[in-house]
Amino acid sequence: MQSSLSTETHPTAVVQQDPATAGPRTTASRLAYLDWLRGLAAVTMLQGHVFHSFTDKGLRNGPEYVLSQFFGGMPPAIFLFLTGITLAFLMDSSDRKGLSPVAKIAAVLRRAGFLLGMAYLFRLQLWLFAQPHSPWTDLFKVDILNCMGVGIALMAVLTFFSTFDRIRLSAGLGVAIAGLSPMVSSIGWAGEHWLVRNYVAPSYDYFSFFPWAAFLAFGVSAGSLLRSVRAEQVERVIQWAAVFGLSLAFAAHYLSNIPYSIYAKSEFWLNSPAQVFIKTGVILVLMSVAYVWTRWVVRDSWNWLCQLGTTSLLVYWVHIELVYGRWFWMWKENLSVPQTLAASVAVIGLMLVVSVWRTNPAKLRNWMPQVSYRPMSAAD
C-alpha cells in the first residue's frame, strides 16, 4: 500500500523547508527522517506482499508467515500518517503565503484529486493486465490511494483554521473517526450501494474511511505541531513523541484486554479504536527512531531506506504488478519459507534499482560494471 505514498511523486514535493522543521534532509524540501520512515514502511510492505503471494499454502500457519503478515499490517497506517504530515505542511505553507480561503481549499482538493486519479489509473492498469480474468468491479476497489484521496478531500475544511488550532482539531478528528468505527460497522449496510459501503464501512478487504482515515488525521496533527515549533524545539518534540507513543500503545493495549467495552460489538483487527491507537503509538516511536538515525548516524550520506521513501508511490505501483500479476505465476503459493525470503530480498533490491533509476540515473550507471570496448586490429 504509498501508497501519495511519497512526497516525491505528487504535489507534496513543493512544500518549502521551514526553520520549524529544520534537520536532516535529502533535498532542500524533504525531511530525511520522514523519508526514512516511509522507506522502512515500503520494505515492510514488500516483504509482507511477497510472503502473501508466494508462500506455500501449507506453510501459512507457521511462525515465519504469521510474523511477516503481522508486521505487514503497519505500512498502510504509516503511509496514511505521513500523508497527513505532508498535508499539514501544505496547509501551513498556504497560510504563510497568505492565500485566500478559496485558494487554500483548491490546493487541498487538487492534492485529493491527484491521489484519486492515480488510484483509478492504478486499478485500470491492473485490470487490463489481468484480462480476461479480472471482473469490471476490480476497477473500483477501494485501495489505500482511494482512502487518501477521499480523506484529504473531507479534511479540506481544516484549512479554515490556523496551524496551531489544527494540532488539537486534527487529533480530535482522529479520535472521533477511530471511536465511531465500531458503530459504523454496526449500521445495516445491506441496502447501501456496494461502492459507498466499501468507501465508508470498516472492511477486511478495503481501505475504508473508518477507521483508516484516523491515521491521516493524526498525521495532520503531528505535521501541524512540527510546523508550529522553533528549530531548537524540534528534537525535544521528537523525544516527547516517543514517550507519548509508548504510553499510548501500552495504554491502548491494556484497555483492549479488559473484559468491559462501551461498544456492543467490536472486532480488534477490523474496527477497534485500540488497534488504531496502538499503531499510532508505534508510528510515533518509529518516527523518533528515524529522526535519531538520520540525524546522528546517516547524517548527510546516501541511505537506501531514504531512497525508497522518496519514490514509494512508484515502488508501490511496480511491485504490486510484479508480486500479484502474472509474471511469476509458477511460484505463486508454491515456495518454501527460505525461498520466499530470498524472493523478498530480490524484490526489495529490484525496487531499490527502480527507485534510483527514477531519481538519479547517473548513480545507477555507476553501480553497473564498467565494460571498455577496444576494436580488434590485424595484430590481434
In a domain, 233, yes or no: yes
In this structure, what C-alpha cell is assigned to residue 196? 459507498
Q: Which amino acid is at 151?
A: G
In this structure, what C-alpha cell is assigned to residue 214? 484516523
Handedness of CA 158, 162, 165, 166 (dihedral sign): positive
Q: What is the pLDDT of residue 210?
A: 97
In a domain, 186, yes or no: yes
For residue 132, cis peptide bond before it (omega within 30 degrees of 0): yes
In a domain, 147, yes or no: yes
When divided into structural domains, the chain yields a total of 1
Q: What is the pLDDT of residue 3?
A: 40
> Which residues of the chain register pLDDT less than 50?
1-4, 6-29, 371, 380
| Residues recorded for the chain | 380
Q: How far apart are CA 304 and CA 287, in angstroms?
A: 17
pLDDT in tens, 240-295: 999 999 999 999 999 999 988 899 889 999 999 999 999 999 999 999 999 999 99
pTM: 0.88
Q: What is the pLDDT of residue 11?
A: 34
Q: What is the pLDDT of residue 5?
A: 57
End-to-end distance of the chain based on CA atoms, in angstroms?
Answer: 56
In a domain, 108, yes or no: yes
Q: What is the pLDDT of residue 377?
A: 52
Q: How far apart are CA 222 and CA 286, in angstroms?
A: 13
**Nearest of 212, 257, 232, 214 to residue 73 by alpha carbon:** 212
In a domain, 269, yes or no: yes
In a domain, 295, yes or no: yes
In a domain, 150, yes or no: yes
Q: Is 98 left (phi over 0), alpha (psi -120 to 50) or beta?
A: left
Domain that holds residue 157: 7-367
In a domain, 115, yes or no: yes
Q: What is the pLDDT of residue 19?
A: 33
